[in-house]
Amino acid sequence: MKYKCPVCGKMAKTGTAVDCARHMFGTGDKAHRAWFEAQGLSYIDLLLSQTSEPGNKAYITVAELLEKSEAAQADK
């Protein structure tokens, strides 16, 4: 299963949900942040956790949501 960004359509080489999550985090612009809010997540809180604790919990949380999201499924 490959995943693309539900906001801008970009897909990582690996196509994994975690790498898609990284991209969304990194871009961090209004549109991408709005997606986080729409999922009931706080961009800042996720960023906080990413910056302060090793383990990439934030990316994994987002990746799990992407796996469930229709918009994130890349065309096969």
Q: By CB under 8 A, name the binding residues for other proteins.
A: 10, 12-14, 19, 22-23, 26, 28, 42, 44-45, 47-48, 50-54, 56
**In the bound complex, what is the minimum distance in angstroms from residue 48's beta carbon to other proteins?**
6
Helix axes of 17-27 and 43-52: crossing angle, nearest 10 degrees: 110
**In the bound complex, what is the minimum distance in angstroms from residue 27's beta carbon to other proteins?**
9
Q: Sort residue 32 into left (φ over 0), alpha (ψ -120 to 50) or beta.
A: alpha
**In the bound complex, what is the minimum distance in angstroms from residue 3's beta carbon to other proteins?**
13
In the numeric block, the tokens 């990439």 are attached to 56
Residue closer to other proteins (CB basis): 52 or 75: 52
Chain mean position to CA 12: 11
